Amino acid sequence: MKQLMHLGVLAVFSSTLTSCGLRHIDAPPVTAEDRWIKPGLNKNDVWRALTACGYDASSWTKNQQVGVDNCMLSNGFTFIDSPYGQQGAICIYPDYQHFPSCQSLKNRGR
């Protein structure tokens, strides 16, 4: 009986963890304009700011990203990485953690 109870607790715990991880499974992919916010601005405004800062997905390079990040941060934008928590986040990967955008998360105590 005790083993059955442990199995039941394990099943409930596992399903709870799984459901939390799948919370945003049907969410659309995260775009560049989803990763930045500024009070009073909508996604179109953010997109215009990104392009004014030099963002071009077709010719993306790490150097371009550093420049865009610095420009967006200096213009008062806040980097949020992903509106869905860790799903779609890029700063969880070592290749991105040195970018100014990801560093700004650390500075805010994320």
The predicted-structure confidence for 16-49, as pLDDT tens digits, reads as follows: 444 445 555 666 789 999 999 999 999 999 999 9
| This prediction's pTM | 0.74
Distance, in Å, from the CA atom of 3 to the CA atom of 70, rounded to the nearest integer, reads: 56
Q: What angle is formed at CA 12 by the lines to CA 84 and CA 25, rounded to 5 degrees? A: 25
Residues pairing with 37 in the sheet:
78
Q: What are phi and psi of 79, to 5 degrees?
A: -85, 130
